[in-house]
Amino acid sequence: MRKLHQTYRASSRHWVGDGFFVQPLFSHMGEDRGTDPFLMLDYAAPHAYAPNDGAPRGVGQHPHKGFETVTIAYQGEVAHRDSTGGGGIIREGDVQWMTAGAGIVHEEFHSEDFSRRGGTFEVVQLWVNLPQAHKNTPPRYQHLPKENIPSIQLPENAGQVRLIAGDYDGVRGAADTFSELNVWDIDVNANQSATFRLPANHQLSMVILRGEVTFNGQDTAGAGELAVFEHTAGAVQVQAASEPVKILLLSGVPLREPVVGYGPFVMNTHEEIRQALNDYRDGRFGAI
Ligand code: MN
């Protein structure tokens, strides 16, 4: 078995802009929790918004460089626009995999429709590092609509795995990535269990979004916790308690490259951060 190494509780909630009330699970700006190649994860746990006739809530224009942002919409809708001329709506069940690469400017708001209607909003934003060799790749985004994300039933009707990225039992996930990694949206039904086997060279962690789980018959974790596993071979058994469990599984081959973060930029050296700031100020990231 691949043993649980440690669990971490989410940090306290804070607002990103006025539309995303998030709990951080890990960050490249804080303690190293062994999540490389994943830099940061913010969970906007279910939060109710009243109908709003004014401007939609969210985050206005801001840059990114040197990594990828992955937005997973569980409930509610996110509207985005960016400096490549792209834009659209991330609906429930959809994922947006945006490669900031050499530099992008974008904005993220509740969709006008969701904003007017109001309701429950639940989103994850995950930052995936780019290998040094690809930090300056041209910016782009992959819109992964729900219907293009492969969904695999777990044995004995224990639940399902939606393959946002990576590989499960020979099935390829929806996103193209720059390094070897898995991002799986897992549901395990109440009182059921499932076993997941990841490559031994992957670091492995799981974010528990809902429910209570027991790993390998011994260690427990609950909603709002990050479970980090030992970096060894072996499988992890996930047993759901009396409520359904929702997990975001993250695994990947660590890049093991220097990480220098400054706000929305993540590079390998301080000099590259200075350059990114200058390039952004000089308008070289473009405009929406
Ligand atoms: Mn952003």
Global pTM value: 0.97
How many angstroms is it from 116 CA to the middle of ligand 1? Answer: 23
Are the CB atoms for 78 and 110 separated by under 8 Å? Answer: yes
Percent of the chain, pLDDT > 70? 100
Residue pair 49/121 in contact by the 8 Å Cβ criterion: yes
Per-residue model confidence (pLDDT) at position 86: 87
The Å distance, Cα 272 to ligand 1 centre, comes to 19
Q: For residue 89, give the nearest of 111, 114, 74, 73 by alpha carbon.
A: 111
**79-109 pLDDT per residue, tens:** 999 999 989 999 999 999 999 999 999 999 9
**Across all residues in the chain, what is the average pLDDT?**
97
Ligand 1 centroid vs 180 CA: distance in angstroms?
Answer: 23
CA 82, distance to chain mean position in Å, is: 19
pLDDT at 174 over 90: yes
Instruction: Report which of 128, 97, 96 is spatially closest to residue 111, judged by C-alpha positions.
Output: 96
Q: How many CA atoms does the CB half-sphere of 97 hold within 13 Å? A: 17
**In this model, does residue 222 exceed pLDDT 90?**
yes
CB 27 within 8 A of CB 40: yes
Residue 149 alpha carbon to ligand 1 centre in Å: 23
d(CA 22, CA 24): 6
Q: Ligand 1 mean position to 13 CA, how many Å?
A: 18
Instruction: Kindly give, in sequence order, each residue whose CB lies less than 8 Å from that of residue 167, ignoring residues fewer than 6 positions away.
Output: 173, 182
